[in-house]
Amino acid sequence: MNRYFMIICLTAIVLVQACKPRPVAVAEQHFALTDTMLAHTDFAKAGLQQVTGSLKLYGKITADNSRQAQVFPVVGGSITSVTAELGDYVKQGQILAVIRSGEIAEYERQRQDAVNDVAIAEKNLQVAEDMYKGKLTSEKDLLTAQKELEKAKASLQRINEVYSIYSIGKGATYNVVAPISGFIIDRNITQNMQLRSDKGESMFSIAQIDEVWVVANVNESDISRISQGMEAEVRTISYPGKVFRGKVDRIFNVLDDNTRTMKIRISIPNADLLLKPEMSAVVSLKIREQKELVAIPSSAVIFDKSRNWVMVYQDREHIETRAVEVYSQNGDTAYIETGLQPGETVISENQMLIYDALND
C-alpha cells in the first residue's frame, strides 16, 4: 500500500514540474547611437594646450589724456551765451560760449594805440629822412626815428600775437572756441555767470573717444600676475552680451594708500563710440601658466556623483563613461589633469542624454 502511495506521489511531482513554464532567455541590451542622435551630437578632440587662466578686475572707462583738451577762461567777464551742452560733439574752432569782457575792451584799446603809434612813427621817420637829405638834421636823429618805428611795430606785433593766440575779435566780446574736435565730457559754466581770468577750473573738457582707456584696480596679492601686453576682455553693464578686447599697455607701479591697489591701463578701440567715459567696466585678464594639459570644451564635462565625467567616443557602438580630474576651467575651455589622453574624442553636445542612457 505504501509502495503504491509513493509511486503516485512521485508521478504527481513530475507532472507538476513538467507543467511549469520554462524561463525564456533574455538577449543582452547594447547601446548604440541612432542616426538621429548622431546628427544632433557634436564631438571634440582632446589636445595639449598651454593652460590659460583669468583674473577678474573692476574699473571704469576714461578718455585718453593725449586725445582731450580743457578750455580755461582767458579773460574775465560775464557769460552772455553758452552754445555747447554736455555730451555734444563739437568741431575744432566751433564757438562754445561768448564772454562780454572789460579785459577784451582794454586789449582792443592797446591794439588801437599800437596801430596809431606805428602810423606816427612812420610819419616821423619820413620827416627825418627828408630833413636828413636836405642837410637839416643829423644822422643820429634819423637813426632815432628808425628805432622808434621798430619799437612801435614790435608792440603792434606783440598785441596781434595775443589776438591770434586767444582768437580775440573786435569789440568787447570774446568767443570761447573748441581747440579740438570731440565730445564735451565736462561743462562748468552757465549763462550770465561771472568769470575771473584767474579761475583755476576749466569751462569745458573735450575728448576724442574713438579710442578709450579702461583703468582697473589690481589687488596687492595679484600684482605678480600682471604684465604689460596681457590680453584683456572688457564687459559693461550697458552692453551685457558684448565683449570689448584690448591689451594692458600701462602699469602704474604705485599703490593707493587707501585701497592698497595698483592701477593698470587698457587701450580699447571704440570706433562705434559705444564706450563712454565714466562707465563701469569688468576686466578679465588672460593669464598664461607655464604648464600644458589636455584641453577640451567645458561643455563636454559632466558633474555627477561628486565627480567629473566625460563621454569618450570611439564609434556609435563604443562610447565610454570615464572619470576625469579637472585642473581648471577658463570660459569655454576645460583643462584635464588626469583621465584623458591627447587625440581622444569626447562628446561635447547632447552628452547628458547619452550619459543617462548608459548609466541608468
- Domain residue limits, the chain: 35-51+291-359, 56-65+207-290, 71-101+172-205, 103-167
What's the grid cell of residue 203? 569751462
Mean pLDDT across the stretch 66-95? 91
Distance, in Å, from the CA atom of 266 to the CA atom of 60, rounded to the nearest integer, reads 10
The dihedral formed by the CA atoms of 336, 339, 341 and 342, expressed in degrees to the nearest 10: -20
Tell me which residue has cell 578701440. 269
Name the amino acid, one letter, at 139.
E
Higher pLDDT, 137 or 272: 272
**How far from 5 is each of 1, 2, 11, CA to CA, in Å?**
6, 5, 10
Q: What is the architecture, at CATH level 2, of domain 71-101+172-205?
A: Beta Barrel (2.40)
pTM (predicted TM-score): 0.59
The overall average pLDDT reported for the chain is 86
Distance, in Å, from the CA atom of 321 to the CA atom of 229, rounded to the nearest integer, reads 41
- Give residue-wise pLDDT tens across range 164-215: 877 777 778 888 999 999 999 999 999 999 888 777 789 999 999 999 999 9
Distance, in Å, from the CA atom of 338 to the CA atom of 326, rounded to the nearest integer, reads 8
Q: What is the architecture, at CATH level 2, of domain 35-51+291-359?
A: Beta Barrel (2.40)
- Give residue-wise pLDDT tens across range 242-288: 999 999 999 999 998 888 999 999 999 999 999 999 999 999 998 88
Report, in angstroms and rounded to the nearest whole number, the Rg of the chain calculated over CA atoms: 43
What's the grid cell of residue 185? 565730457
The confidence band for 28, taking pLDDT boundaries of 50, 70 and 90, is: very low
- Give residue-wise pLDDT tens across range 100-136: 888 888 888 888 899 999 999 999 999 888 888 888 8
- Of 1.10.3470, 1.10.287, 4.10.830, 1.20.120, which CATH number belongs to 103-167? 1.10.287
- Of 2.40.30.170, 1.20.1260.10, 3.40.640.10, 3.40.50.720, which CATH number belongs to 56-65+207-290? 2.40.30.170
DSSP 304: E
